[in-house]
Structure 1
Amino acid sequence: MKNERPLSSAFTRRDLFRYTGLLGAAAGITATLAACGGGPSSTSVVGGSASTGDLTTAIGYGNDQSFDPMQTASGFLMAAVNHVYEGLLENDPGTGETYAALAQAVPTDATASSWTMKIRDGATWHDGTPVTSDDVVFTFDRILDPQQNVLIRSFFSSWLQSVTKVDDQTVTLNFNYPFSAAAQRLSIAKIMPKHVFDGHWDEAKSGALVVGSGPYKLKSHTPKSNTAFEAYEAYNGPRPANFATMNWLSIVDTSSRIARVSGNNAGAQLADNIPVANVPTLTTGGRTVEGNPGMNLMYLLFDTTQAPFDDVRVRQAMFYAINTPKMIEIALGGKAAPATSYLYERNPDYARASTVYSYDPDKARSLLASAGVSGLDLTLLSTNVSWLADCLPTIKESWDAVGFNTTLEPQDTSAMVSKLNSGQKFQIAAGTSNPQAFGSDVDLLVRYTYSKGGLWTKTYAKWDDTPEAQKIYATMDEATRETDPAKRSTLVQSYLNQIAENAVYYPVLHQELLTAWDPKKIADVTPLPYPGVNLLQAKPA
């Protein structure tokens, strides 16, 4: 499967006037926790101007979660992993094209039941030890081990049977069946040195041990503060380091992050997670601000054991009732799109769903009446991610308008996740998600939430054993095994339509993420459609 390049959308003068009119009065910026964890910002700047080969970046996510490439879902640390470690194959963040990283070449036979792959000649770990096939086998043995059950296991266990050693530089990947997205999927599996990590996974998690084969090696890691890198001079792969050093500051607080990238004496040359309200100030100050549409979404999630949300009519009504166009314009400055499918529109497998939740309060009232629901006291559990918090008042207003008495209950992301993980009862939850950080093939994007026995459908929604869920899983499995592109596409659209109709976990909108940088200091920046940064092709201006 081949991804189209998501078109980067720069801000026009017309955009700036519109944002100034809508949001210019929003001088006070809420300090909230971003999607992938948080912590206090660093106040020290390590490294200098990008023009000298050093780069300082302000990242709006915490760096205090797992540094283990097989276990992390942190926007900050997943980005760090991509600069320190390599997969056999990697995906270009701008074009989506797959390229050879630790492997010598990209396999081309998508119908094969196995691939034999050779390791890049001369590849070494950051301690100078050569990369061997033993390291590759060690990595995949851990990924596929049901006892260890690492976070990324579900992305491989259905189609990848085993990885075996042929010789010191060659491995064979054995498939359960031909899998069209295998090449893309291999980028998730960062190869790790056996001699370093065997029996030392706690150190991998904490960041005490970080030894990869990528263009940058870890210089220092201070949770809740910053992570620093330096170029690995012995790197001989396709994306060598363009900066002598990089210092990534973890600055979750929005106002502090914007201040760090603003002004003539800015302490950072680039920052991610830019709110629309700050675009006029940044662009007037000479910064480039661009976005990249993708799978970054706001979702609604229902506890289907809690009446009346066991009734699909009520779940559908909650979506129809939301004035999403108004919410996008007021809260997000127009930089989002109402969901017309589970997928974002530029995904190659996108097609408009058979059920689209356009704003229709009359239809919402009709569905609620047919389900016998009126005057219900409703609590919306949500995270306090800044842009989601801006959307909550419109959701409350919309639901109250069709007869609910809505209470908003925003909270720290980790607090909500803890409640959901414990199986605690709730009515509706709202949050942000973006599985595109792992990959962009449709099978991955959907299985991230809709997988048999998975966290979202079983523990959170408590819907896993229903006939409707079983039908979705069966259709997904059939699509994954189908090698005929036309038949596969039909099956994909079938399960996407089923997911839309059942509305158990479903996006309200897909939002564009924004990145800002100083074009006088840094060039060739690729804004990402998911949290974090990828600076493997960026360079000093």
Structure 2
Amino acid sequence: MKKWVSSGLGLVLAISLALVGCSNDNKDVKTSDPAKTNAPKAEAKTEGGSKKVQDTLIVGRGGDSAALDPSIVTDGESFKATQQIYDTLLDYKDGTTEVEASLAESWKVSSDGLTYTFNLRSGVKFHDGTDFNADAVVFNFNRWKDPKSPVKFQGDSFDYYTSQFGGEKDDIIKEIKAVDAKTVQFTLNKPQAPFLQNIAMPCFGIGSPKAIQEKKEKFKSEPVGTGSFVFKEWKRNESITLEKNPNYWKQGLPKLNKLIIRSIPDNSARLTALKNGELDLIEGVNPDDVKNIEADKNLKKLVRPSFNVGYVGFNLKHKPFDDAKVRVALSYAVNKKAIIQAFYGGNAEVAVNPMPKSLWGHNNDIKDYEYDPEKAKKLLADAGYPSGLPGEYTFYAMPVPRPYMPDGKKVAEAIQQDFAKIGVKTKIVSPEWATYLDDTKKGEKDDIYMLGWNGDNGDPDNFLYALLDKTNVGGNNQSYYMSEDVHKLLADAQSMNDQAKRSENYKKAQVLIKADAPWVPLAHSTPILAGKAAIDGYIPSPTGSESYETVIFK
């Protein structure tokens, strides 16, 4: 008989984030002047003329969701919506990456780290009225792991399941079984230190088996979960409307009756809509507008804890970017400090490695390729290109603002000029967001691209393994970087229970990655948000995917 250890004995990896509450993957479309839109105003009056308490929250963001099935997306804009519709077995405490109970009330881990048993919450219903139970959990996970699953529909790609658990190869999860209606058991092929952190990620939201089977491909746009809000309507590139789940298992939540998530690509237009009362909360603020927000008594500045990296990636499938010497040369050509000063307003720090400096396991001893155009030219010459690179290269620039990349097109233009100084000519293209993500994932059209990552779970594995391991090429590893030495370090770290030993592996991996230079890490930003002064109960998450269930208006 196996000995059991409590879920609280060192298995939960927490990050202390002091910035919480200060006052953690979309389509580029034209939006009408926010001053002329027909969006509902925030405040209303009763027939007697007294002020009515607002019960609808309207959130403005830079881009639309790619889909509303969290298991098939990797972008933060999609998770902002799906976080409201679905619950996961475990969740993160507000404003942190510390694991807590959710659909699973409690859990046990076997002493060998291979068996996880979750005791599920009773009385939980999906939005379609069907029961949440162990069979539903098994159904969802088997859908993601079984390549022959009858509910894996055309176009479905479970990239997060692949990056966290090895995907259809069953690398990590061997079996999921329902012990009884309220107990589900996971058996692993090998220990995985961040398993609990991974299970809590929003991409593993549990959907209604009945709805998935009946809706088929439509499920990605007609979601059914157990979350605090129920899906009502999706107007593509405009808005997503959700309504209060009257049967939500968290007593007294959500506090709002309705949630509307609007897409307005332009940061300035979004702020204007906030000032005009058409929005209540906005993501993405131009650095030059921060002082304006701070001076406005009707608004409040909010700060999301920094837990991200913005980067420029090279497509190693295409020559000459398959040559590390060329990639290192181009790394020296990028003026990171000037970019941060011009486009981040000082709300960022230079990135040296692919993971934030605040995260344990970061290698502080690694020296950056600091801006040096002359050295870049020399290295290109040493690589066989004394006159710069021949031809013109396609540079994909992000079409939407993201926390780690406030203005992708302008940043791309600055880097384009940096590259031109050393004889590298690029052509900037910026397709709409869903196409952008698909193109960079396939790696057929882009030579150079820009993306970023907001940490999902507070573990280095979620940056290094998810983004740069050889097993994740074609998924979250858009550079098609494949290093056997890096893979061994990262895979071994997953199986270690000693955090100090894991940290050493991650530090060694960062040394190898720096030498290979598949990316130019640009910045770790501190995202600024803005909202009405009357908003209360909103806690920005470091993962970028917080719930709005506790939000109220004072």
Shorter-chain TM range is 0.7 to 0.9
**Is 1:410 equivalent to 2:429 in the alignment?**
yes
Aligned residues between the structures: 506
3-state SS in 2 of match to 1:105? strand
3-state SS in 1 of match to 2:106? coil
Q: Which residue of 2 aligns with 1:56?
A: 58
Write the distance in 1 (CA, Å) between the matches of 2:344 and 2:82.
Answer: 30
In structure 2, the CA distance between the partners of 1:334 and 1:454, relative to structure 1 (3 Å rule), is: same
Write the distance in 1 (CA, Å) between the matches of 2:505 and 2:352.
Answer: 18
Alpha-carbon shift at residue 367 of structure 1 (Å): 2.5
Q: State which drifts further: 177-186 or 49-58.
A: 49-58
Write the distance in 2 (CA, Å) between the matches of 1:45 and 1:390.
Answer: 30
In structure 2, the CA distance between the partners of 1:177 and 1:285, relative to structure 1 (3 Å rule), is: same
Alpha-carbon shift at residue 456 of structure 1 (Å): 4.8
**Is 1:315 equivalent to 2:327 in the alignment?**
yes
**Is 1:470 equivalent to 2:479 in the alignment?**
no
**Is 1:273 equivalent to 2:284 in the alignment?**
yes
Write the distance in 2 (CA, Å) between the matches of 1:516 and 1:501.
Answer: 39
Instruction: Give the counterpart of 1:434 among 443, 449, 453.
Output: 453
Q: For 1:434-461, what per-residue CA distance to the aligned partner results, in whole angstroms no more than 9, with x for missing partners?
A: 252x433221222332233533599954
Identity rate of aligned residues, in percent?
21
Structure 1 runs not aligned, ≥5 long: 13-34
- Superposition TM-score, scaled by structure 2 size: 0.83
**Is 1:88 equivalent to 2:99 in the alignment?**
no
Write the distance in 2 (CA, Å) between the matches of 1:183 and 1:9.
Answer: 23
3-state SS in 2 of match to 1:246? strand
Alpha-carbon shift at residue 40 of structure 1 (Å): 4.6
Alpha-carbon shift at residue 272 of structure 1 (Å): 0.7
Write the distance in 2 (CA, Å) between the matches of 1:336 and 1:449.
Answer: 21
Q: For 1:243-300, what per-residue CA distance to the aligned partner results, in whole angstroms no more than 9, with x for missing partners?
A: 122122122233331111114xx11111112221222332222322233343443322
Alpha-carbon shift at residue 100 of structure 1 (Å): 0.7
Q: Which residue of 1 aligns with 2:415?
A: 395
Write the distance in 2 (CA, Å) between the matches of 1:338 and 1:222.
Answer: 38
Paired residues of 1:225 and 1:249 also in contact (CA < 8 A): yes
Q: Which residue of 2 aligns with 1:99?
A: 100
Q: Which residue of 1 aligns with 2:216?
A: 201
**Is 1:173 equivalent to 2:186 in the alignment?**
yes
Question: 1:185-334 to 2 correspondence within 5 Å?
Answer: 185-188=198-201, 189-207=204-222, 210-237=223-250, 240-263=253-276, 266-286=277-297, 287-304=299-316, 306-334=318-346
Q: What root-mean-square deviation, in Å, do the aligned CA atoms of Structure 1 and Structure 2 show?
A: 2.9
Paired residues of 2:309 and 2:355 also in contact (CA < 8 A): no
Write the distance in 1 (CA, Å) between the matches of 2:542 and 2:250.
Answer: 25
Q: State which drifts further: 490-499 or 384-393.
A: 384-393
Alpha-carbon shift at residue 397 of structure 1 (Å): 3.6
**Is 1:511 equivalent to 2:525 in the alignment?**
yes
Paired residues of 2:27 and 2:400 also in contact (CA < 8 A): no
Paired residues of 1:184 and 1:439 also in contact (CA < 8 A): yes
Q: For 1:42-79, what per-residue CA distance to the aligned partner results, in whole angstroms no more than 9, with x for missing partners?
A: 8332474494222111122213x211121123433312
Paired residues of 2:312 and 2:519 also in contact (CA < 8 A): yes
Write the distance in 1 (CA, Å) between the matches of 2:192 and 2:211.
Answer: 32
Paired residues of 1:392 and 1:408 also in contact (CA < 8 A): no
Paired residues of 2:256 and 2:549 also in contact (CA < 8 A): no
3-state SS in 2 of match to 1:116? strand
**Is 1:153 equivalent to 2:147 in the alignment?**
no
Q: For 1:165-197, what per-residue CA distance to the aligned partner results, in whole angstroms no more than 9, with x for missing partners?
A: 111111111122222211111123111222222
Write the distance in 2 (CA, Å) between the matches of 1:10 and 1:361.
Answer: 41
Q: State which drifts further: 81-90 or 271-280.
A: 271-280
Write the distance in 2 (CA, Å) between the matches of 1:184 and 1:507.
Answer: 25
3-state SS in 2 of match to 1:350? coil
Write the distance in 2 (CA, Å) between the matches of 1:485 and 1:531.
Answer: 25
Q: Which residue of 1 aligns with 2:8?
A: none
3-state SS in 2 of match to 1:345? coil
**Is 1:6 equivalent to 2:21 in the alignment?**
no
Write the distance in 2 (CA, Å) between the matches of 1:359 and 1:110.
Answer: 50
Q: For residue 452 of structure 1, what is the amino acid of its counterpart?
A: K
Paired residues of 2:440 and 2:478 also in contact (CA < 8 A): yes
Q: For residue 486 of structure 1, what is the amino acid of its counterpart?
A: A
Alpha-carbon shift at residue 347 of structure 1 (Å): 1.6
Write the distance in 1 (CA, Å) between the matches of 2:508 and 2:206.
Answer: 35
Write the distance in 2 (CA, Å) between the matches of 1:197 and 1:306.
Answer: 39
Write the distance in 1 (CA, Å) between the matches of 2:384 and 2:159.
Answer: 41
Alpha-carbon shift at residue 87 of structure 1 (Å): 0.7
**Is 1:523 equivalent to 2:541 in the alignment?**
no
3-state SS in 1 of match to 2:468? coil
3-state SS in 1 of match to 2:67? coil
Paired residues of 1:242 and 1:540 also in contact (CA < 8 A): no
Q: Which residue of 2 aligns with 1:342?
A: 354
Paired residues of 1:98 and 1:106 also in contact (CA < 8 A): no
Write the distance in 1 (CA, Å) between the matches of 2:550 and 2:111.
Answer: 28
Write the distance in 1 (CA, Å) between the matches of 2:117 and 2:475.
Answer: 36
Q: State which drifts further: 227-236 or 452-461.
A: 452-461
Alpha-carbon shift at residue 315 of structure 1 (Å): 1.0
In structure 2, the CA distance between the partners of 1:433 and 1:530, relative to structure 1 (3 Å rule), is: farther
Paired residues of 1:381 and 1:410 also in contact (CA < 8 A): yes
In structure 2, the CA distance between the partners of 1:282 and 1:107, relative to structure 1 (3 Å rule), is: farther
In structure 2, the CA distance between the partners of 1:160 and 1:530, relative to structure 1 (3 Å rule), is: same
Write the distance in 2 (CA, Å) between the matches of 1:205 and 1:251.
Answer: 22
Q: For residue 321 of structure 1, what is the amino acid of its counterpart?
A: A
In structure 2, the CA distance between the partners of 1:282 and 1:419, relative to structure 1 (3 Å rule), is: same
Q: State which drifts further: 386-395 or 415-424.
A: 415-424
Q: For residue 488 of structure 1, what is the amino acid of its counterpart?
A: R
Write the distance in 2 (CA, Å) between the matches of 1:457 and 1:118.
Answer: 32
Write the distance in 2 (CA, Å) between the matches of 1:110 and 1:490.
Answer: 24
Q: State which drifts further: 220-229 or 383-392.
A: 383-392
Write the distance in 2 (CA, Å) between the matches of 1:171 and 1:369.
Answer: 59
